[in-house]
Amino acid sequence: MKHVFKMMLAYAMVISCFDPLQAGDSEIAIIETTEGKMVLELWPDVAPGTVENFKNLAKKGFYDGTAFHRIIKGLLAQGGDPLTKDPSKESLWGTGGPGYAIRAEFNQRPHQLGVISMTRTANPDSAGSQFFICLGDAPQFNGKFACFGKLRTGAEVLRKIGETPVKTSANGERSKPIKKVLIKSIKVRKAS
């Protein structure tokens, strides 16, 4: 009986150490940009509604042709605004979305280099399509924005995006890219 108990305990310990990101059903997002390709692992266990929303928008081609319209060196690169497809709406960049908002899924994952998170207004439940990727550690965002994945490959591409020359935006922030960095496409698929 002791032997059976030990075997069950050992089995439980092995199962509890299993990393869900290694599971065959985990998914990745492939972000093709004018600077190259980045691959991010998605965290549906941490932010299920956020991941589902991101996947649905990517599947519809919502992000295709949008731009990283806000880049703050060492902090973040923000994209996902459909208005960035239209140069005549440049004064509105950063205000666009899918026409709805999702519920906030703030979590305990730290905002570190390569973490992707939803952008929002002062209203916690105002995220829709815009996201940012951390260009460095950003503990000031922890628990205030819904992070839902992390860069797996493409660190050099993210670095290039983060080094894009910027100028002062209409609101006085030095974050407006001088050269447009496009998101050609975002595809979501099973991790291999």
Give 24's pLDDT tier (boundaries 50, 70, 90): low
Q: Sign of torsion, CA 94 97 100 106?
A: negative
Domain ranges of the chain: 25-190
Q: How far apart are CA 5 and CA 106, in angstroms?
A: 39
Q: Residues 51-93: pLDDT tens digits?
A: 999 999 999 999 999 999 999 999 999 999 999 999 999 999 9
Q: Residues 143-181: pLDDT tens digits?
A: 999 999 999 999 999 999 999 999 999 889 999 999 999
Predicted TM-score (pTM) of this structure: 0.86
The full length of the chain comes to 192
Q: How far apart are CA 132 and CA 55, in angstroms?
A: 15
The answer to whether 91 and 34 are in contact (CB under 8 A) is: no
21 vs 38, higher pLDDT: 38
Q: Residues 83-120: pLDDT tens digits?
A: 999 999 999 999 999 999 999 999 999 999 999 999 99
Fold of 25-190: Cyclophilin (2.40.100)
Q: How far apart are CA 102 and CA 155, in angstroms?
A: 29
The answer to whether 120 and 106 are in contact (CB under 8 A) is: no
Give 192's pLDDT tier (boundaries 50, 70, 90): confident
Q: How far apart are CA 185 and CA 191, in angstroms?
A: 18
